[in-house]
Amino acid sequence: MKLGLFSINMGAQSRPEGLAAAARTAEAAGFDSVWAGEHVVLPDPQVPPSPMAPQDPALDPLLALTWAAAATSTIRLATGIVILPQRNPVVLAKQIASIDVLSGGRFTFGVGVGYLEPEFRAIGANYEERGAVTDEYLDAMTRLWYDEHPEHHGRFADFAGIDAHPRPVQRPIPIVVGGHSGSAYRRTVTRAHGWYGFALKPETAAEYLAALRAMAERIERPAGLGEIEITVSPRGRLSRETAGAFADLGVHRLVILPQPGTDDMRPDIDAATAAVDGL
């Protein structure tokens, strides 16, 4: 069972020294990855389904992961997730290629479609067609990363006669899809190397994974993508019993959610390490 650390860019970890210390501590403990979430802006006042208060600090995930990369040498750097339809795909492709080069090929690209309409409205992004935008942006970005002469002509992105270097170190950059809708499962099966479920209990994860596997039986998965790697953030502090339940479901990685207001990640990291020992 692999372990990851979430919220590397939020709360106390939004301070430079806190972020670097958390990344180094996770790496020293044998964690395989650190994960950064994203909200560019939040509704003020907070209203459902917003998960955070508008005053809660959250660094840009790519900048935070670049800072973590400079403080570490082996741990993977993952977005969990970037709200892809809120981004410009050409600019984002450059940013991701840059962090992959600077980190020596340690980046994992976690994506989602988003769900906060006020955030989309403030950014000027397409909320109504965000699923279709996400799919097309993935196509456009992969052409920029891997094609000798990148070119894309679509509804939401259009370019030709351009190029962008340096290219990523990894070929391919691992893509992880977050979400538990039919579209998210389809996107995982057809486009991604892994799936990410956030703040789940084992019984909820079992329901979502059954739906994902049912989708995988109905549609063809490109052979080059390999097995779908399953990543879950458990709800609450990880226990031995909970870790075992996730292992029984076929989960490959647990990305722990630190206790709210925690400055020192070590207790959560030590508890998670003990919980998965031997699994």
- On average, the pLDDT of the chain sits at 96
- With bands split at pLDDT 50, 70 and 90, how would you rate the model's confidence at 235? very high
Please give the model's pTM, rounded to 2 decimal places: 0.96
Angle between helices 61-71 and 89-102 (to 10 degrees): 10
pLDDT at position 278: 85
Contact at 8 Å (CB) between 202 and 249?
A: yes
Number of domains into which the chain is organized: 1
Q: At what angle do helices 16-28 and 266-276 cross, to 10 degrees?
A: 20
Q: Is residue 223 predicted with pLDDT exceeding 80? A: yes
Burial environment of residue 260 by CB neighbours within 10 A (0 to 12, 13 to 18, 19 or more)? exposed
Q: How far apart are the first and last CA of the chain?
A: 6
> Which candidate, 128, 139, 133, 250, places its Cα nearest to that of 190?
139
Cis bond before residue 43 (omega within 30° of 0) = no
- What three-state secondary structure class fits 122? helix
Q: What is the pLDDT of residue 262?
A: 73
- Please name every residue paired with 254 in a beta bridge, in sequence order, or none if there are none: 3, 232
Averaged pLDDT, 93-103: 98
pLDDT tens-digit readout, 195-222: 999 999 999 999 999 999 999 999 999 9
Question: Quick check: 19 pLDDT over 90?
Answer: yes
Secondary element (H or E) of residue 233: strand 229-234
Residue 208 maps to which CATH number? Answer: 3.20.20.30
Going by C-alpha positions, the residue among 263, 82, 262 that lies closest to residue 178 is 82
Q: Are 7 and 58 in contact (CB under 8 A)?
A: no
On the question of pLDDT at 277 being above 90, the answer is yes
Give the CA distances from residue 136 to residues 31, 100, 128, 155, in Å, rounded to whole numbers and listed in that order. Answer: 33, 22, 15, 8
pLDDT digits (tens, 9 = 90+) for 112-158: 999 999 999 999 999 999 999 999 999 999 999 999 999 999 999 99
Domain housing 170: 2-276
Q: What is the pLDDT of residue 157?
A: 98
Q: How many residues does the structure list for the chain?
A: 279
Degrees, nearest 5: CA angle 41-45-48: 80
Round to whole Å and give the CA distance between 264 and 17. 11
